[in-house]
Structure 1
Amino acid sequence: MILIGDLHGEYLNILYKINNLEIRNTTLIQVGDFGLGFHDLHHDIKTLSGLNKFLHEKGNSLYLIRGNHDNPYFWNHRQEIQMKNIFFVQDYEAVTIEEQKILFIGGGISIDRKNRIAGKDYWIDEEFVLNPVLLDNACAAGIDMVITHIAPNSAWPYSFTPVVNHYVSREPGLANALYQERSNMNVVYQHAKLAGCKQWYYGHYHQSMVEEKEGVLFRCLDIGEMYQPTV
């Protein structure tokens, strides 16, 4: 199993790494902001088809969760975009991979959303949505690992960066929205911890960071970072 950080459309860099490192017969999991939706649908489907062929030839599979820079269309219509080696994982879906039960949850707020155009490079349903019923159901049989796009407020980062502050100062209510979504994700953390979660991976913040909290290993993946967890 190999985890991959945000890509923002830079698929070729990952293909190069997979080829150069001779990665074969491996499950790849990307933590959101793959970069789907910034071209027309035909272009993105063609790109995915080429990627699927590349993965198939090497015996690899790729699991994708949605980031804030991904069009939810691909996840909402995954039955119509079936590809044997690429899987669009729905929010609160728990999948067993390499004997690890993994809970996946995508979504997040774009701090620069006011500068973007809805339906073109911003999607109004981009945010992570807390769903207590789906969360309870997903955690009922235990969870080993959680993979999300954003982090709970119990994990790094603990304060806004200068870039975030720049946009917060220009959009009333953005700061509260960012605090609230991370507080909501903390509800997931509390449930997952009680369900036995020992590892949590996320992206979104464009830095590499690792820490341990209450017996849970948290790791933020940087853009294009690849990491092989110990399971």
Structure 2
Amino acid sequence: VGDLNHKFGNLFSYIERKEIENSVIIVAGDCGIGFDKEDFYTVYLKKLNEDLKEKNVTLLLLRGNHDNPDFFKEERINFSNLKTIPDYSIIEKYEDWDDDKTFQIEYSILCVGGAISVDRMDCIAKDIVNFNSLKLMFQGLSNEELLKMNTKSYFPNETPYFNEQAFDELKEHYKELNLHFVITHTCPSFAPPRDRNSIQHFIIKDEDLVDDLKYERKVMDNIYKRLMDDYHIILEWHYGHFHWFNSEVIKGIHFRLHKDVGYEVDITEINGDYKPYFKE
């Protein structure tokens, strides 16, 4: 599923309309987690977790740029059927008959979050305005106390990162097995979008933005290269972040860009019946 942007209600309505049961749904970032205090999510998502449990649906949340990375790194949301997952998580699907998960993995998914916010200058300005408003309202409090009260809309550690150690451990674990799918928030440089025409108004007021965006995509390039170097035959690469839809085969991999969640949900089913894609 593409960018959720806190529209959990829309997603669950879709689950009900389509009568989805006995499934795992992975959100490819921008879940909208971390803009409110932690207690809010404990209360708000607890009810959703119970609704998901009734349908035997598990919702796994991968971080985007509009998420607080700490919620994912520390797995702060960890209900039975609704969880934030850290970068370089591996989701394994075993054969239906393998209840003990000791025999054959049907397929496996690598999940890596993070991206650059093209609107980060606006977000930073908003955070400063909110902080100054709190300072006027609560003049007896220290800056540290005010910062704890202030909700953030920009997180400096939003950038994806290449984790060499994670790949080394992955290589050791998957000596005779293959990763089949990749889910990220952004994508490699050779996947669409391949230009920056739609964000020129952000580039004008952020002199470091282009270099940081190049770095973001370079991280994804490094992930792709390492997967190829380790001989994983990736069938599909799913991502969000760019607020539009695209589907094409590049270098033998089906790259699928998902739209944001609205009334309708751009959802793709992953199952074990896939065969590798090849360029003609």
> Is this a same-fold pair by TM over 0.5?
yes
Distance 1:64 1:39 in 2: 16
Residues 146, 192 of structure 1: 8 Å contact kept: no
- Corresponding residue for residue 126 of structure 1: 158
Query: 2:200 — aligned with what?
Result: 165
Name the residue aligned to 2:42: 45
CA offsets 1:100-149 (integer angstroms, 9 cap, x no match): 11111001110111111466111111110112221333355131111000
Which runs of 5 or more structure 2 residues have no equivalent in the other structure? 95-105, 128-150, 273-280
The residue number in structure 2 matching 1:143 is: 179
Match of 2:270 in 1: 229
Provide the TM-score with structure 2 as the length reference. 0.76
Name the counterpart of 1:187.
222
* Post-superposition offset of 1:81: 3.7
Q: Taking structure 1 as reference, are residues 137 and 161 closer, same or farther at Cα in structure 2, changes over 3 Å only?
A: farther
Specify the code of the residue in structure 1 equivalent to 2:25.
L
* 1:199 partnered with 2:199: no
Q: Report the CA distance between 1:74 and its aligned residue.
A: 1.6
Cα pair 1:139 1:195 within 8 Å, conserved: no
Whether the 8 Å CA contact 2:73–2:87 is kept in 1: the answer is no
Query: Does the 8 A contact of 1:148 with 1:203 survive in 2?
Result: yes
Q: Looking at CA atoms only, which structure, 1 or 2, has the larger radius of gyration?
A: 2
Number of equivalenced pairs = 226
> Could you state the TM-score of these two structures normalised by the residue count of structure 1?
0.92
Q: CA RMSD in A?
A: 1.6
Mapped pair 1:212 → 2:256: no
Q: Does the 8 Å CA contact 1:139/1:191 hold for their aligned counterparts?
A: no
Give the aligned partner of residue 74 of structure 1: 71
* Percent of paired sites with the same residue: 32
Shift of 1:230: 4.9
What is the aligned counterpart of 1:95 among 85, 91, 95? 91
Match of 2:140 in 1: none
Render the CA deviation track for 1:182-226: whole Å, top value 9, x for unaligned. 012111112223322111000000111011112111000000122
> In structure 2, the residue corresponding to 1:39 is in which secondary structure?
coil
Of the structure 1 ranges 8-17 and 112-121, higher mean CA displacement relative to structure 2 is found in 112-121
Q: Tell me by how many angstroms 1:181 deviates.
A: 1.1
Q: Which residue of 2 aligns with 1:110?
A: 117
- 8 Å CA contact 1:139–1:192 kept in 2: the answer is no
Q: CA offset at residue 76 of structure 1?
A: 2.9
Question: Hey, which bits of structure 1, 4+ residues long, moved more than 6 A?
Answer: none
1:86 corresponds to: 82
SS in 1 for 2:260: coil
Partner of 2:54: 57
* Higher helix proportion: 2
Mean CA deviation greater in 117-126 or 102-111: 117-126
Amino acid in structure 1 at the alignment position of 2:251: E
